[in-house]
Amino acid sequence: MVGNISRRIIAALRNYQFFSIFEINQAIKTELHRFINRPFQKIEGNRLSSFEAIDKPALMPLPATRYEYADWKNAKIAFNYHVEYEGFFYSVHYSNIGKASRIRATVSVIKIFVDGIRAATHPSNFNTYKRYMTLPEHMPESHKAVTGWSSERYLAWAEKIRPQTKCLISSILDSREYPVQTYRACMGIMRLSSSYPAETVEAASKEAIDKRTCNYKYFSIILKQMVSKESSSESEKIVSNSNLRGAKTYAGGRINA
């Protein structure tokens, strides 16, 4: 039916000449008005009168709020009781750590569901300088450690490396409103550092502090660059070998050559 109407209006528009999109829209409006008011051939009335008599009384009121598109995503609640959506992190109550969740995201609101029940609601975050949204009521009492991790434990690990690494971790822990918002970065640094010598980790920590780039991203870049430089310098070393023949071996030519 809709396709039939469209074909008839398009056929009528062939009699027009257009110089702008506005003129096209005006012509479509005119032809559509003519079409819906054109009398039926075999019954009384027209399309407009049929709509008002049959369809219009059956219509329901429009929703009170405008439709808003929602995106759904599955996410596991991390050890720091936050879930990640599009690079941003939203808290739920710490008792839900390790559980599966469903995230319903719109342009204005993030809703997190656990076992089909809404566990948290946050305004959508777009601030790349503050990626964590943490509600105080979601945190453990007195911010005590959860799942065995705390600020003190990260600092104790860093102290075993050396002072600069401890200073780096301390700076990261102090960089957010709540230390738990930095646990993911601290865990990443700890896991990455386990693959490299303590001296290299300490040097990378010092450089990150000197450059004021105290975060996981830049620490990992600095650390990998240092390891790459060390590998290059080792490959360029000249290895002494007693089998190499010097200038004396070729002196005089002939048989000595």
88-119 tens-digit pLDDT: 999 999 999 999 999 999 999 999 999 999 99
In a domain, 173, yes or no: yes
- The answer on 114 and 91 residing in a single domain is yes
Per-residue pLDDT at 249 exceeds 70: no
Going from the C-alpha of 67 to that of each of 59, 64, 87, the distances in angstroms are: 18, 9, 25
In a domain, 63, yes or no: no
In contact, 86 and 116? CB cutoff 8 Å = no
Q: CA angle, 166 as apex, 161 and 169 as ends, to 5°?
A: 120
Domain that holds residue 172: 151-233
Sign of CA dihedral 164, 170, 173, 177: negative
In a domain, 107, yes or no: yes
Provide the number of structural domains found in the chain: 3
Q: What percent of the chain has pLDDT over 90?
A: 63
In a domain, 190, yes or no: yes
Task: Specify the range with the lowest mean pLDDT, choosing from 49-53, 114-118, 227-231, 246-250.
Answer: 246-250
Tokens of 180: 């738990």
Per-residue pLDDT at 247 exceeds 70: no
Distance CA 101, CA 119 (A): 9
In a domain, 212, yes or no: yes
Residue where a domain terminates, one of 18, 36, 58: 58
Residue 247: how many other CB atoms lie within 10 Å? 6
- The answer on 195 and 165 residing in a single domain is yes
Per-residue pLDDT at 248 exceeds 90: no
- The answer on 174 and 130 residing in a single domain is no
59-76 tens-digit pLDDT: 999 889 888 999 999 999
Residue where a domain terminates, one of 113, 143, 173: 143
In a domain, 123, yes or no: yes
